[in-house]
Chains A and B, each alone.
Chain A
Amino acid sequence: MTSPRGQIDISGVTKRFRIKDRPLLALDQISLSVAPGEFVSIVGPSGCGKSTLLRLLAGLERADSGRLVKDGTEISGPSLDRGLVFQEPRLFPWLTVVQNITLGLQNQRMSRAERRRGVAEHIDLVGLAGFENAYPHQLSGGMAQRAAIARALVNRPEVLLLDEPFGALDALTRARLQGELQRIWAHEGITMLLVTHDVDEAVILGDRVVVMAPRPGRIARGVEVDLPHPRIRADDRLVRLRNDIILGLEADEASTNAQRPAAA
């Protein structure tokens, strides 16, 4: 039996940016391992490097030092076995839903019929049946984000990276899409890394919640969510976990602010 794929190992990763000639330590010595099929949520205040971490994993950025490894191979650029969903749907406005999702498959070696079948399956998977020929400007925010998720999944990636995918949606749509994402994850059995600023979302979906802290961007702690899926929002243990995480984030913030005058 082949071992399941989708293992991620990040060790000692540092990433710097320059803003107006001043160096900025976006990520400082990050280490994190994710098991195949695991769902990891990443939370933290804005600017702590969550997007940068996902972009490194997607291969859109290069680390200054440290290693990012997927299934034993160092990540050196984008690959179809790592899908990325951005905060905005980023659909091509001149293509319909079907055409946008098909974009994901154009570099996959398969027959026309297989391609059509793959796209149709994923349209069903994200609940967009009936909107195949709509243009992006005709879709609601929630539907556009479903299409973006389908485009990232249609390649059957082993790892799906999601960067605050529901951040711009209203509460109701967000709750519905969280449910769908949970179902998709169970169905596909792939590794998922979800960046979110919504702690509720993080604990409902994650097997584990990684909490990050800013200046410099680093991992503050990891919290196991040892509850069976699918989960119920009102579960006492979930609510307790959520409160702990929020208290921790507030404490991080207080200590960072206390350090700041000294550092400046």
Chain B
Amino acid sequence: MTDVAAPNGPRIAPSVHRGLVLPVALLAAWELSSRLGLADPRFLPPLEIIARSGWHEMMEGRLWGDLLASLRRDLSGFGLGATIGIALGTVLGLSRLADRILTPWFNGLKQIALVAWIPLISMWFGFDEAAKVVFVALAACIPVVLNTQEGVRAAPLPLIEVGRTLRFSRTQFLLRLHLPAALPSILTGLHLGLIYAWLATVGAEYFMAVGPGIGGLIIAGRERFDMPLVLLGILILGCIGFAIDRMAGWIEHRLIRWH
């Protein structure tokens, strides 16, 4: 599999089992320290209390609504960003002119930390849902553009020559050669895009107007100094991020049958 990681991007997760060792150990240490009175329960409440808080939020609180709001935001932003990313990456990968004109810009812009875009996006799109989705789309778009461009450009010369001897048209080159050859790379980009989109969803919920969402839940917990609620929110964020990563990895594996 071609594995073009975005700059500073996380590598694709190793096996689930190894991935579980650290969180489980941390949870155990957490539980032990709060039980043995090593940590102040106001800052590190025992897991049991968090579970109870979770149960409570699920049954009569806003947990489900928040979760749904965050996921919807995440997926709409990802869908938008991925579509733009694949289109832009394909153009940059195929057209030398576009590459020369746009890539320096793109490389410059991507150096800007993602959160630094928030004020600008807020001024353009306001503070509510649209702005958040745009921010998530921007985050998802970057690794998709980079990996798509890389993959489309890397179509093997020997196969290009086959296409020439068979008199491929431009469209045939694109559909029969460049895009399929880029598929592993595009999937890697989409996978990273999913991870980035989730991080951006949380970021948008933290830094933009408060609304429904897991980020909003955490902020509400902070304001009420409700430590179990804050920790519950963070645990949920982690679990969803993990689930998204595993699912993307699985789909990726399924789609590339010819390997």
Contacts and interface: CB of A to CB of B under 8 A. Distances in A.
Interface in A78-115: 78-80, 82-84, 86, 88, 90, 92-95, 103-104, 106-107
Contact of B158 (A78, A88, A103, A135): A88
Given A60-B164, A78-B166, 14 more contacts: A59-B164, A60-B165, A84-B165, A86-B158, A90-B158, A90-B159, A92-B162, A92-B176, A93-B259, A95-B258, A103-B176, A107-B167, A107-B172, A151-B166
Interface of B: 158-159, 161-162, 164-169, 172, 176-177, 180-181, 183, 257-259
A78 B164 contact: yes
A78 B180 contact: no
Contacts of B257: 135
A137 interface: yes
Contacts of A103: 162, 166, 176
Contacts of A78: 164-167
Contacts of A135: 257-258
Contacts of B177: 92
30 contacts: A60-B161, A78-B164, A78-B166, A78-B167, A79-B167, A80-B166, A80-B167, A82-B165, A83-B165, A84-B165, A86-B158, A86-B161, A86-B162, A90-B158, A90-B159, A90-B161, A90-B162, A92-B177, A94-B180, A94-B258, A95-B258, A103-B162, A107-B166, A107-B167, A107-B168, A107-B172, A135-B258, A137-B258, A137-B259, A151-B166
Contacts of A59: 164-165
Given A92-B180, A135-B257, A107 B159 contact: no
A192 interface: no
Contacts, number: 55
A244 B198 CA distance: 73
Interface in A98-149: 103-104, 106-107, 135-137
B249 to A, nearest CB: 20
A10 B180 CA distance: 38
A152 to B, nearest CB: 8
Contacts of A40: none
A82 B181 CA distance: 26
B247 to A, nearest CB: 23
A122 B37 CA distance: 79
B13 to A, nearest CB: 25
A195 interface: no
Given A58-B165, A135-B258, A106 B158 contact: no
A104 B166 contact: yes
Contacts of B183: 94
B47 to A, nearest CB: 48
Interface string A42-84: 0000000000000000111000000000000000001110111
Contacts of A80: 166-167
Contacts of B169: 107
Nearest to A99: B176
A128 B38 CA distance: 72
A93 B258 contact: yes
A222 to B, nearest CB: 27
A73 to B, nearest CB: 16
A97 to B, nearest CB: 12
B174 to A, nearest CB: 14
A92 B172 CA distance: 13
Nearest to A107: B167
Interface string A204-230: 000000000000000000000000000
A152 B239 CA distance: 53
Contacts of A58: 165
Contacts of A94: 180-181, 183, 258
A78 B172 CA distance: 16
A207 to B, nearest CB: 25
Given A80-B167, A92-B177, A137-B259, A106 B172 contact: yes
A95 B162 CA distance: 14
Q: Which 3 A-B pairs have the closest CB atoms?
A: A94-B180, A94-B258, A78-B165
A144 to B, nearest CB: 13
A92 B180 CA distance: 9
A104 B167 CA distance: 9
A17 to B, nearest CB: 16
B155 to A, nearest CB: 10
Nearest to A92: B159
Contacts of B258: 93-95, 135-137
